[in-house]
Amino acid sequence: MALIGTESTAQPPLSEPVDWRQHAACRDMYTTLGKEDPFFPSRGKADVVNDKALKICFACPVKQECLDYALEKREINTGIFGGKTPSERKWLYEKAQKAKGIQKQRRKRRKAKAS
């Protein structure tokens, strides 16, 4: 995701109730990673550049929060979020949608039985 433009580089302790992005491993990395943003590489460079991003995500303390955010906001078509590529996120998103559909059907059936 490469959180560009955040103001402070100080990392607050994880126990503090601050936005999870404050703890992102990719925070403020735009200037140190070179011209190509590994989280949103240009076409044709995705495979090579994404590896850099995935290595950064691997050690990120807010990987799950980042992935949850991406799935909630339907960020499934481009970039790296939560250590997952677009195709991995798309698979997770569709799986979650399918599970929601199944739960909805079960609730409907239970409701129908009860009435």
User: By the criterion CB under 6 A, which residues form the site for ligand SF4?
Assistant: 1, 24-26, 39, 56-57, 60, 62-63, 66, 80-83
How far out from the chain centre does Cα 92 lie?
11
CB of 43 to ligand SF4, least distance (A): 20
Cα 3 from Cα 60, distance rounded (Å): 13
Cβ count within 10 A of residue 80: 29
The least distance separating ligand SF4 from the CB of residue 66, rounded to whole angstroms, comes to 3
Q: Quick one: 59 or 114, whose CB is closer to ligand SF4? A: 59
CA angle 45, 48, 50 (to 5 degrees): 90
- In sequence order, what are the beta bridge partners of 81? 84
Q: How far is the CB of 60 from ligand SF4 (least distance, A)?
A: 3
> Nearer Cβ to ligand SF4, position 17 or 40?
40
